[in-house]
């Protein structure tokens, strides 16, 4: 185990990146605020709602950090054993203190588990909600060049950590907050690809979940707006487009999540023009990378107070095989500040609208008290009051269900690295028939706090996440069974536990989906907005 | 006995009189005529047969609900010889105080008019009308410059008036005596004590199931909730206002609340009601009133900044602007101690024949007024329905929270009830706060004036308003205010300034209303 090294990120690069951060006035460049500031119509789904610039202000940092070259370390640090880290390796918490080299040499991995040494943490996302949580636990900050146990990193850094060229391995007492190929879920095109594959597999197995209606649409697995990859699936898209020529589609670049390059189309000629333009552009060499997804635009969103909103829900995955995931009870709705009106205006106008999004990012309408955010319990109270209890419970059941399905869809391809956990930001739009649509999943949900409540929420989110990912706040051992006791879950609740679910037949799953047997726990759903757990797991 | 009988006949006469002019009356008449075609209606037993028909067809229930609604709204009959102002307010000094308060408000409104040289009302030019119509659903995006406008008054100003209220017939010497009231309210009014409150709010007792307590996750729903929901559905099926009102005392299930409240308030949302709302909307579009700016300002200052209600900003304009034009609101001044302010056509000041009520509904909004509407937005998403519910809530309850009267649900009585409860049951706390210059009423007044809207979490607020509707009384507000102080008494005993006391009580959004009320009323050793 010894001699494992971890790539060193050029310290300078990080420093430079960090130097940038304070430039944004607090809250101003928060992705949350840009989202809520919204824009007209499209702003909401087109750019503001569906797009998460990977962490707003953090995004600047991440991007910069991502550009940093990774070099093979000139001096690898010694890993494991705690020796090189100078962690007092006493057998009990009382025997902290200096230890002789001889003693050190005898320390085994198993001792570390019970050792009350201090976790050493690193982060390249300097958010107070993170740092406060680390410090509260008495953890020690180190630089990425030193030994660390816990690294909360940006998606760019994780890419480098697990890149083939780097070829490094983490040791048992190191934990990171991303799965190596999380992009299977968090990149728009890959997520759709995986879900499509998952559906086909279920269909092949003859699973009742893959049942279709008379129009060939999946009854239960149709939870992502119809999506195609461009240019690859161009012909398929055209075929679909011709089926319903009056619909609006939204174009998004695959990899990026900056809100840039997003636009709406409602005529085929527009997409032709786009493909012509991109071919003749001076960035021909990059056109390969410029893969787009085109999705059917949800043009009948549920409106509350006449406004469009999307849902941001936090989901923690501690392991993919077996799948174990947790739902955070305190999600929220993000409202556009501008009224929604279904628009059939021209593409050019839409561009104007999108420009507005950028301009309105820091719009005057943005309210710094509530930040355009509404708790999920408010949503539940509103829906139950105006639409009834049954449909509301069904909606929330379905939301939970589609999240689990999306995770199941990627579980087989996910590199289930035991050092990893991940907290995802799920973006969901509800249409006016109360059907939830999965829009996208973010690997780095914004940790910037736009309001006081936001800060509390995100602080608690990280707190509860750490309680599950790093049991007792002690030096982690990634070989543990990853099933924390109920008491530490905080505001998380188990969304799905594959091990527990085994034994439950698929027919049961289907039945409960149809609401015929919601099971004993579903019957306990409450007005107070406590999330309902169905027993389809 | 004789007295009671004559009272009853007086009430009946009053109600018959009122209903005769109503839409329901003509509907009933039409139904009666139409029923003559039916085979089961016989000439020899005409009266009985028609009555039977009304019963079967549900019209009798509608009539019952209408009568019940009149009974809940209309004050108890006074002596036949009593002048009409006694209906408004029997005590002369209260009437006088209200009168001079109104004068102050009006003066402030007028001086704002003059200062800003803005007319009280003006007709909008055609272009502007069109523009307003277009953005009717997104008035919130409009950012008129309101920096010069200020709320006509805030609850704080109103409290000062109440503090200075005196009964000239009551010996209120400077020297302390056992009669001296140590609180801020110095007028003697009869308010309930705890035994009386226990009797009044008997359904909130420890042995009776409550939504807001017995539906928490620890309690299996089979024990209370399921059955309660089932009964609620039955009550709705029966369409019986009185039953709904009794039922809701134990709290309304979230999913049934909108319908139950509408049933209790006797709001049915007929096509003509929608039409009426549309007419009010037309009035808004045609005329610009100074109060519109006050409403805008108020929404921007309150609901737009509220975690729970910002979403509904546009609904608030749609309701409140129409409300200000609704002359049917004027009828509630028959039993409101307040009177609608009058304005005169330019140049005809003082000439009664040129007088108009201003604003047309006679209600001048104050700081926080929009919070009366905001929680209702959680229940009704149709503006016309939302509007009707609000108007009815206003003329039944909310007007009492900002007019000076001796009514048990009036704000003066609520203040006194609050102070008396606190003084009687938490004398040490009361004394301590008084000594450090933090009179409890200074903190709780705003809660009561707004019926706690904007202070409690919405689900809790709705549970509280369930009880207001259920008991047809606002007294529960004063009880809750006292219960909140009792709940935080330990912390309050440690503070040494008004600011610190306010800080302890700044955030009520975590409170659970029903347990607080139940403990205060029924589980406190007295």
Question: What is the complex's ipTM, to 2 decimals?
Answer: 0.91
Distances (CA, A) of A319 to A327, A479, A484, B7: 14, 11, 12, 76
Residue B63: domain span = 1-72
Using an 8 Å CB-CB cutoff, list chain A residues near B378: 381-382, 385-386
Q: Are A432 and A300 in contact (CB under 8 A)?
A: yes
Spatial separation of the C-alpha atoms in residues A470 and A119, rounded to whole Å: 9
Please tell me which of the candidates B217, B258, B311 has its beta carbon nearest to residue A526: B217
Q: Which residue of A has its CA nearest to B138?
A: A339
Distances (CA, A) of B351 to B108, B340, B344, B348, B354: 21, 16, 7, 6, 6
DSSP H or E stretch at residue A293? strand A292-296
Q: Which two tokens stand for residue A191?
A: 């997520």
Cβ pairs bridging A and B (under 8 Å): 85
B507 to chain A nearest CA, in Å? 13
Using an 8 Å CB-CB cutoff, list chain A residues near B310: 335, 367, 370, 372, 374
Please tell me which of the candidates A365, A381, A530 has its beta carbon nearest to residue B378: A381
Classify residue B77: in a domain, yes or no: no
- pLDDT at res. A19: 36
Contact A365 B141 (CB under 8 A): yes
Classify residue B8: in a domain, yes or no: yes
Classify residue B34: in a domain, yes or no: yes
A→B contacts (Cβ < 8 Å), by residue, are 304-307, 335, 337-339, 364-365, 367, 369-370, 372-375, 377-378, 381-382, 384-386, 388-389, 392, 453, 523-524, 526-530
Q: Structural domain tally of chain B? A: 1
Q: Which two tokens stand for residue A223?
A: 């939870």
Q: Which residue of B has its CA nearest to A306?
A: B137
| Count of other CB atoms within 10 angstroms of residue B51 | 13
Query: Beta strand pairing status for A175-176 and A263-265?
Result: unpaired
Angle (CA) B464 B470 B474, round 5°: 60
Whether residue A322 has a cis bond before it, omega within 30° of 0: yes
Classify residue B36: in a domain, yes or no: yes
Write out the DSSP string of A369-388.
Answer: TTTTEEEHHHHHHHHHHHH-
Q: Which residue of A has its CA nearest to B460?
A: A528
For residue B86, what are the contacts with CB-CB under 8 A and spacing of at least 6? Answer: B78, B79
Q: Which residue of A has its CA nearest to B257?
A: A385
Q: Does any CB of chain A come closer than 8 Å to the CB of residue B261?
A: no
Query: Beta strand pairing status for A8-9 and A292-296?
Result: unpaired
Using an 8 Å CB-CB cutoff, list chain A residues near B306: 369-370
Residue linked to tokens 């200074």: B442
Spatial separation of the C-alpha atoms in residues B325 and B4, rounded to whole Å: 40
- pLDDT at res. A150: 94
Write out the DSSP string of B480-514.
Answer: HHHHHHHHTHHHHHH--SHHHHHHHTS--TT--HH
Nearest one of A238, A272, A210 to A513, comparing CA atoms: A210
Nearest one of B301, B215, B382, B457 to A375, comparing CA atoms: B457
Q: Are A313 and A495 in contact (CB under 8 A)?
A: no
Angle (CA) A507 A512 A517, round 5°: 110
Q: Please tell me the number of Cα atoms within 13 Å of A363 on its side-chain side.
A: 28
Using an 8 Å CB-CB cutoff, list chain B residues near A392: 255
- pLDDT at res. B11: 81
Q: Is the pTM of this model over 0.90?
A: no
Q: Which two tokens stand for residue B299?
A: 């929404």
Residue linked to tokens 């929330």: A396
A343 to chain B nearest CA, in Å? 15
Q: Does any CB of chain A come closer than 8 Å to the CB of residue B216?
A: yes
Classify residue B10: in a domain, yes or no: yes
Residue linked to tokens 């726990």: A521
Please tell me which of the candidates A305, A385, A530 has its beta carbon nearest to residue B313: A305
β-pair partners for A311:
A333, A428
Contact A527 B306 (CB under 8 A): no
Helical ranges in B117-224 per DSSP H: 126-134, 155-163, 194-200
DSSP code, position B139: G
* DSSP SS3 for A43: helix
Q: Please tell me the number of Cα atoms within 13 Å of A499 on its side-chain side.
A: 10
| Count of other CB atoms within 10 angstroms of residue A488 | 13
| Helices B155-163, B92-116: inter-axial angle, 10-degree rounding | 140
Classify residue B46: in a domain, yes or no: yes
Q: For residue A81, is it left (φ>0), alpha (ψ between -120 and 50) or beta?
A: left
Query: Beta strand pairing status for A307-320 and A303-304?
Result: antiparallel
Residue linked to tokens 């201003």: B358
Sign of the alpha-carbon torsion through A371, A376, A382, A383: positive
DSSP code, position B468: H
Distances (CA, A) of A20 to A12, A23, A380: 13, 6, 40
pLDDT in tens, chain A (537 residues): 433 334 333 333 333 333 333 333 333 333 333 333 333 333 333 333 333 333 333 333 233 333 333 333 333 333 333 333 333 333 333 333 334 444 444 444 444 444 458 899 999 988 999 999 999 999 999 998 888 999 999 988 888 888 777 767 788 999 999 999 999 999 888 999 999 999 999 999 988 888 888 888 888 889 999 888 888 888 888 888 888 888 888 888 876 655 667 778 888 888 777 777 766 554 444 444 568 889 998 888 999 988 889 999 999 999 999 999 999 999 999 887 665 555 555 444 444 444 333 333 445 556 767 778 899 999 999 999 999 999 999 999 999 999 999 999 999 999 999 999 999 999 999 999 999 999 999 998 888 887 888 899 999 999 999 999 998 888 888 888 888 888 899 999 999 999 888 755 544 444 444 443 333 333 333 333 333 344 343
Q: Are B289 and B498 in contact (CB under 8 A)?
A: no
3-state secondary structure A185-211: HHCHHHHHHHHHHHHHHHHHHCCHHHC
Residue B277 CA, distance from chain mean position: 20
- pLDDT at res. A505: 52
Q: Are B292 and B360 in contact (CB under 8 A)?
A: no
Using an 8 Å CB-CB cutoff, list chain A residues near B257: 385
Contact A377 B459 (CB under 8 A): yes
Classify residue B460: in a domain, yes or no: no
Tens of pLDDT, residues B326-383: 999 999 998 999 999 988 877 777 778 888 898 999 999 999 999 999 999 999 999 9
| Count of other CB atoms within 10 angstroms of residue B84 | 9
A78 to chain B nearest CA, in Å? 50
Classify residue B14: in a domain, yes or no: yes
pLDDT in tens, chain B (526 residues): 456 677 788 888 888 888 888 888 998 999 888 888 888 888 888 889 988 999 988 899 999 999 998 888 876 666 667 788 888 898 999 999 999 999 999 999 888 888 888 888 889 999 999 999 988 888 877 777 788 888 889 999 999 999 999 988 876 566 665 556 788 998 989 999 999 999 999 999 999 999 998 888 778 888 899 999 999 999 999 999 999 999 999 999 999 999 999 999 999 888 889 999 999 999 999 999 999 999 999 999 999 889 899 999 999 999 999 999 999 999 999 899 999 998 887 777 777 888 889 899 999 999 999 999 999 999 999 999 999 999 999 999 999 999 999 999 999 999 999 999 999 999 999 999 999 999 999 999 999 999 999 999 999 999 999 999 999 999 999 999 999 999 999 999 999 999 999 999 999 999 999 999 999 999 875 5
- pLDDT at res. B175: 60
Q: Are A219 and A519 in contact (CB under 8 A)?
A: no
Q: Are B52 and B301 in contact (CB under 8 A)?
A: no
Spatial separation of the C-alpha atoms in residues B212 and B236, rounded to whole Å: 20
Spatial separation of the C-alpha atoms in residues B411 and B417, rounded to whole Å: 10
Contact B459 A527 (CB under 8 A): yes
β-pair partners for A496:
A325
- pLDDT at res. B266: 94
- pLDDT at res. A250: 87
Q: Please tell me the number of Cα atoms within 13 Å of B360 on its side-chain side.
A: 17
């Amino acid at each position: 185990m010894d001699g494992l090294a971890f790539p060193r990120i050029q310290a300078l690069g990080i420093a430079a990146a960090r130097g940038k951060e304070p430039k944004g006035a607090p809250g101003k460049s928060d992705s949350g605020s840009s989202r809520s500031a919204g824009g007209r119509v499209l702003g909401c789904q087109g750019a503001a709602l569906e797009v998460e610039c990977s962490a707003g202000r953090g995004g600047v940092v991440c991007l910069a950090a991502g550009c940093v070259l990774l070099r093979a370390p000139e001096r690898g640090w010694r890993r494991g054993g705690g020796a090189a880290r100078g962690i007092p390796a006493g057998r009990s918490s009382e025997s902290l203190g200096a230890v002789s080299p001889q003693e050190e040499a005898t320390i085994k991995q198993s001792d570390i588990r019970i050792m009350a040494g201090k976790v050493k943490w690193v982060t390249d996302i300097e958010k107070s909600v993170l740092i406060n949580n680390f410090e509260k636990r008495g953890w020690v900050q180190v630089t990425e060049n030193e030994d660390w146990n816990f690294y909360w990193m940006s998606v760019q850094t994780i890419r480098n950590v697990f890149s083939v060229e780097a070829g490094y391995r983490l040791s048992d007492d190191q934990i990171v907050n991303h799965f190596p190929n999380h992009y299977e879920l968090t990149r728009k095109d890959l997520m759709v690809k995986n879900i499509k594959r998952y559906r086909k597999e279920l269909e092949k197995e003859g699973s009742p979940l893959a049942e279709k209606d008379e129009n060939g649409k999946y009854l239960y697995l149709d939870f992502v707006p119809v999506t195609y990859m461009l240019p690859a699936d161009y012909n398929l898209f055209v075929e679909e487009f011709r089926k319903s020529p009056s619909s609006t589609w939204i174009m998004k670049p695959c990899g990026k999540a900056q809100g840039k390059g997003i636009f709406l189309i409602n005529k085929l000629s527009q997409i032709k023009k786009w493909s012509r333009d991109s071919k003749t552009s001076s960035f021909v060499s990059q056109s390969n990378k410029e893969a787009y997804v085109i999705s059917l635009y949800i043009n009948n969103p549920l409106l509350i107070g006449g406004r469009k909103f999307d849902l941001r829900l936090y989901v923690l995955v501690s392991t993919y095989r077996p799948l174990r995931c947790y739902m955070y009870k305190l999600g929220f709705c993000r409202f556009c500040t501008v009224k929604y009106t279904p628009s059939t205006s021209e593409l050019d106008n839409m561009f104007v609208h999108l420009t507005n999004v950028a301009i309105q990012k820091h719009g005057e309408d943005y309210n710094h008290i509530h930040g355009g955010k509404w708790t999920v319990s408010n949503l539940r109270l509103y829906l139950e009051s105006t639409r009834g209890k049954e449909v509301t419970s069904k909606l929330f059941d379905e939301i939970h269900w589609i999240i689990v399905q999306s995770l199941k869809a990627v579980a087989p391809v996910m590199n289930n690295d035991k050092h990893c956990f991940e907290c995802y930001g799920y973006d969901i739009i509800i249409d006016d028939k109360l059907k939830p649509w999965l829009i996208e999943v973010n690997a780095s949900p914004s940790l910037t706090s736009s309001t006081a409540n936001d800060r509390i929420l995100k602080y608690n989110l990280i707190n509860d996440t750490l309680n599950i990912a790093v049991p007792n706040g002690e030096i982690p051992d990634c070989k543990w069974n990853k099933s924390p006791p109920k008491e530490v879950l905080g505001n998380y609740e188990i969304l799905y536990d594959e091990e527990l679910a085994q034994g439950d037949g698929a027919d049961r799953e289907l039945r409960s989906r149809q609401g015929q047997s919601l099971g004993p726990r579903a019957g306990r759903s409450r007005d107070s907005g406590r999330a309902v757990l169905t027993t389809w797991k | 006995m004789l007295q009671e009988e004559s009272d009853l006949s007086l009430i009946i006469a009053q109600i018959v009189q009122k209903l005769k002019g109503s839409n329901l009356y003509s509907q009933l008449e039409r139904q009666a005529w139409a029923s003559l075609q039916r085979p089961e209606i016989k000439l020899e037993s005409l009266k009985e047969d028609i009555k039977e028909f009304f019963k079967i067809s549900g019209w009798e229930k509608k009539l019952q609900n209408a009568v019940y609604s009149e009974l809940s709204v209309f004050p108890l009959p006074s002596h036949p010889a009593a002048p009409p102002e006694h209906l408004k307010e029997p005590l002369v000094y209260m009437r006088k105080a209200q009168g001079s308060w109104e004068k102050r408000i009006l003066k402030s409104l007028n001086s704002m008019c003059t200062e800003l040289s803005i007319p009280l009302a003006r007709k909008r030019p055609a272009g502007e009308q069109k523009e307003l119509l277009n953005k009717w659903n997104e008035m919130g995006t409009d950012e008129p410059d309101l920096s010069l406008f200020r709320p006509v008054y805030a609850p704080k100003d109103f409290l000062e008036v109440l503090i200075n209220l005196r009964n000239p017939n009551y010996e209120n010497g400077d020297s302390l005596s056992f009669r001296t009231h140590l609180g801020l309210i110095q007028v003697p009014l009869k308010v309930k004590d705890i035994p009386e409150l226990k009797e009044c709010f008997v359904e909130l007792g420890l042995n009776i199931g409550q939504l807001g307590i017995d539906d928490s996750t620890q309690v299996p729903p089979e024990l209370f909730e399921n059955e309660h929901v089932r009964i609620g559905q039955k009550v709705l099926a029966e369409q019986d206002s009185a039953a709904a009102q009794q039922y809701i005392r134990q709290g309304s299930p979230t999913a049934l609340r909108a319908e139950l409240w509408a049933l209790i308030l006797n709001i049915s949302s007929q096509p003509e009601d929608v039409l009426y709302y549309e007419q009010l909307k037309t009035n808004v579009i045609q005329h610009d009133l100074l109060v519109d700016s006050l409403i805008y300002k108020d929404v921007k200052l309150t609901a737009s900044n509220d975690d729970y209600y910002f979403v509904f900003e546009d609904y608030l304009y749609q309701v409140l602007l129409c409300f200000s034009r609704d002359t049917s609101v004027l009828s509630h001044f028959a039993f409101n101690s307040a009177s609608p302010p009058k304005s005169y056509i330019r140049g005809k000041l003082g000439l009664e024949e040129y007088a108009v009520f201003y604003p047309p509904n006679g209600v001048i909004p104050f700081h926080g007024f929009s919070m009366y509407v905001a929680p209702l937005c959680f229940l009704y998403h149709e503006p016309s329905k939302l509007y009707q519910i609000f108007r009815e809530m206003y003329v039944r309850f909310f007007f009492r929270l900002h007019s000076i009267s001796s009514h048990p649900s009036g704000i003066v009585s609520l203040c006194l009830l609050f102070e008396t409860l606190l003084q009687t049951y938490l004398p040490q706390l009361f004394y301590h706060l008084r000594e450090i210059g933090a009179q409890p009423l200074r903190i709780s007044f705003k809660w009561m004036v707004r019926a706690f809207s904007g202070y409690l979490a919405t689900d809790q607020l709705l549970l509280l308003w369930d009880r207001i509707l259920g008991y047809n009384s606002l007294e529960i507000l004063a009880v809750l205010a006292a219960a909140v102080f009792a709940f935080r008494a330990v912390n309050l005993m440690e503070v040494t300034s008004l600011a610190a006391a306010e800080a302890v009580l700044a955030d009520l959004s975590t409170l659970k209303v029903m347990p607080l009320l139940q403990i205060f009323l029924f589980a406190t050793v007295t």
